[in-house]
Amino acid sequence: MTGPRRTPPPPTFVGTTTDGPENLPEHQPRSRWGLLTDRNFRLLWIGETVSRLGSSITTLALPLVAVVRLDAGSFTVGLLTAAVWVPWVLFGLPVGVWVGRLPRRAVMLTCNLVSLSVLASVPLVDGLGALTMTHLLLTALVAGTASVFFTTAYQVVLPELVGQGDLVEGNAKLQGGAAAAQVAGPGAAGLIAQGFGAVFGLLADSITFLVSTVTLLMMRSRREAPPKFAPAPASLRGDVVEGLKFIARDSYLRTLTAFGATANLALAGYQSILVPFLIREVGVQPGAVGALAAAGALGGILGAVVATPVARRFGAARGALVSQIIAAPCGLLLPMTTGGASLVLFVFGSVALVTGATVSNVIFGSFRQKYTPPELLSRVVATSMFVNHSTIPLGALLGGLLGSTIGLRPTMWIATGLLVLAGAMVLASPLRRHRDFPARRADS
Quickly count: other Cβ atoms within 10 Å of residue 387's Cβ: 19
Torsion, Cα 198 203 209 210, to 10 degrees, reads -160
The confidence score (pLDDT) of residue 443 equals 53
Q: What is the mean pLDDT of the chain?
A: 78
The confidence score (pLDDT) of residue 75 equals 67
Tally the C-alpha atoms within 13 A of residue 352's C-alpha that lie toward its C-beta: 22
Return the minimum-mean-pLDDT range out of 100-114, 173-187, 398-412: 173-187
The confidence score (pLDDT) of residue 364 equals 86
Instruction: List where CATH 1.20.1250.20 sits in the chain.
Output: 1-13+31-222, 235-436
The confidence score (pLDDT) of residue 222 equals 55
pLDDT classification of 226: cutoffs 50, 70, 90:
very low
The confidence score (pLDDT) of residue 29 equals 46
Are 106 and 213 contacting, i.e. CB atoms less than 8 angstroms apart? no
* pLDDT over 80 at 59, yes or no: no
Look at the domain 235-436 and name its fold. Answer: Growth Hormone; Chain: A; (1.20.1250)
The confidence score (pLDDT) of residue 197 equals 75
Per-residue pLDDT tens for 275-294? 778 878 888 775 576 677 66
Which of residues 439 and 376 earns the better pLDDT score? 376
Per-residue pLDDT tens for 345-402? 999 998 998 888 888 888 888 888 888 888 788 888 888 888 888 887 788 778 878 8
Q: What is the mean pLDDT of residues 162-187?
A: 77
Return the minimum-mean-pLDDT range out of 72-76, 392-396, 409-413, 419-423: 72-76
CATH, domain range 1-13+31-222: 1.20.1250.20
The confidence score (pLDDT) of residue 413 equals 95
